[in-house]
Chains A and B, each alone.
Chain A
């Protein structure tokens, strides 16, 4: 009688252990399939966690160069204008909006900052979540222009 109940207890233990092993294996199989799917398509957006600071946006930098070399109504480049005034005029901000909103997705939040004074160029505001990209340009030792973009 004692031996029979001992056997039942032992069998139950092994059945439960087998079920746990099967569950762990199924979860691992599912996880490896999911990871494989995301790792299979190699692109900059999906590889962002691996690229980190190497995730420079070359085309955003190109647009920033283009913006700085654009001449304003006074015939001066925006680069020269910022170097003199350490700020952006309203017309320059409007041009920045045309440049950076047209060259990026409407879903993005974009801001331009001169010496820490930030102006939002899009209706969508920055959120706490989402990857932020920043491209900056030192105008002179006292001033820096930054473009901040959040996808």
Chain B
């Protein structure tokens, strides 16, 4: 049999638990809000920036041009036919037509630039300074196509990448011409499309 004091104590404890439950339910809402905002934040941070595919696009263009100008390691004579190797020549030709590339895009201005430099391997020299490579030799011939304004974007990004500039991709490979001359061919491709790819 419980006395009066014991009953009062039990009653007070029950009331305390009720109060604690109320505070806990508020706390649970606060935790729920915290977790929900965290999940929202994570999704927002992950999908905030667009995927930048320009470098990959530049790489694909470079690969396509290399396949187009060199067939199984032999350079077709049409690419360097008017170069005697003594003087560096520069020529704008429709590489896009010769290599079946489509330079059209959803933008009004031209968004692509491609350049192919042909070097004689016997006179080919590279200097490496501050982790950047610089070709010291002059090319025998240079051919290019597309928006020439993007050329400067590639030149200023040799050390650091800038998001709002066109993305450039450079690769070199070796080929021989029909006279067994050893050539180093450097392909540079630039893709602008800044508005769609850079944040």
* Chain A residues within 8 Å of B, Cβ to Cβ: 3, 7, 10, 14, 18, 21-22, 25, 28-29, 32-33, 35-37, 39-44, 58-60, 62-71, 95, 98-100, 102-107
Contact = CB atoms under 8 A, between A and B. Distances in A.
Nearest to A26: B38
Interface string B61-75: 011001100101110
Interface in B34-50: 34-35, 38, 41-43, 45-50
Contacts of A100: 174
14 contacts: A10-B20, A21-B34, A25-B34, A35-B46, A36-B45, A37-B49, A43-B56, A43-B59, A62-B66, A63-B174, A99-B182, A103-B174, A106-B128, A106-B133
A14 B63 CA distance: 59
A67 B31 CA distance: 66
Given A42-B55, A66-B175, A70-B176, A18 B73 contact: no
A63 to B, nearest CB: 4
Contacts of B172: 59, 102-104
B28 to A, nearest CB: 10
Contacts of A60: 173
B122 to A, nearest CB: 9
Nearest to A7: B20
B53 interface: yes
B56 A29 contact: no
B73 A36 contact: no
B100 interface: no
B66 A102 contact: no
Given A33-B45, A44-B56, A102-B121, 18 more contacts: A7-B16, A29-B42, A40-B51, A41-B55, A42-B55, A43-B56, A58-B66, A62-B66, A62-B174, A63-B175, A64-B73, A65-B72, A69-B73, A70-B176, A102-B172, A103-B173, A103-B174, A106-B128
B59 A66 contact: no
B85 to A, nearest CB: 17
Interface in B170-186: 171-176, 180, 182, 184
A8 B139 CA distance: 80
Contact of B70 (A18, A22, A62): A62
B52 interface: yes
Nearest to B53: A42
B182 A59 contact: no
Contacts of A102: 121, 124, 126, 172, 174, 184
Nearest to B43: A32
B174 A99 contact: yes
